[in-house]
Structure 1
Amino acid sequence: MRVPIELLSGLANCLLNDTVFEIVKGLMEIQHVTEKHLFQQRLQIINKHTLEIQNMIKNVPSPEQQELQKTILLSKHRDELKQTDMKLVIQLDQKVSDQQVTLEKAGVPGFFVTNKPIEVKVQMYLLDFILRLSKMDIPN
Structure 2
Amino acid sequence: MIHSKQAQRGLPTAERGPLAVVLLRLRNVLVTSLNSGRIRKYAGHCTIVSGQNKTRGMDIQSGSPFGQGDSTKQQERHYYLLSELQTLVKDLPSSFQQRLSYTTLSDLALALIDGTVYEIVQRLLDIQHLTERNLYNQRQKLHCEHQALKQELTKKHKAALQVCKPHNLALLKPTQQAEFEALEVRLKEEQKMMDKKIVAEMDQKVIDQQNTLEAAGVAGFFITTNPQELTMQMNLLELILKLQQKESQSGGFCY
* TM-score of the two chains, using structure 2 as the length reference: 0.52
CA contact (8 A) 1:31 1:95 kept: no
Segment of structure 1 superposing worse, 57-66 or 34-43: 57-66
Match for residue 120 of structure 1? 230
Report the CA distance between 1:69 and its aligned residue: 2.7
Higher helix fraction: Structure 1 or Structure 2? 1
Distance 1:44 1:51 in 2: 11
Report the CA distance between 1:109 and its aligned residue: 0.6
Report the CA distance between 1:57 and its aligned residue: 1.1
Structure 1 residues 71-129: Cα deviation after superposition (integer angstroms, max 9, x where no partner)? 22222222211111011000011111111111011010101111111111100010111
Alignment of 1:1-140 (within 5 A): 1=95, 2=98, 3-60=100-157, 61-62=160-161, 64=173, 65-137=175-247, 138=250, 139-140=254-255
Q: Which runs of 5+ in 1 are unaligned?
A: none
Q: 1:15 is matched by which residue type in structure 2?
A: L
Q: Secondary structure at the match of 2:193?
A: helix
Q: Secondary structure at the match of 1:136?
A: helix
Distance 1:51 1:73 in 2: 12
* TM-score of the two chains, using structure 1 as the length reference: 0.91
Distance 2:156 2:104 in 1: 64
Distance 2:228 2:176 in 1: 48
Q: Which runs of 5+ in 2 are unaligned?
A: 1-94, 162-171
CA-based RMSD of the aligned residues comes to: 1.6
CA contact (8 A) 1:114 1:120 kept: yes
Q: What is the aligned-residue identity percentage? A: 39
Flag as ranges the 4+ runs of structure 1 deviating above 6 A.
Answer: none
Report the CA distance between 1:66 and its aligned residue: 4.2
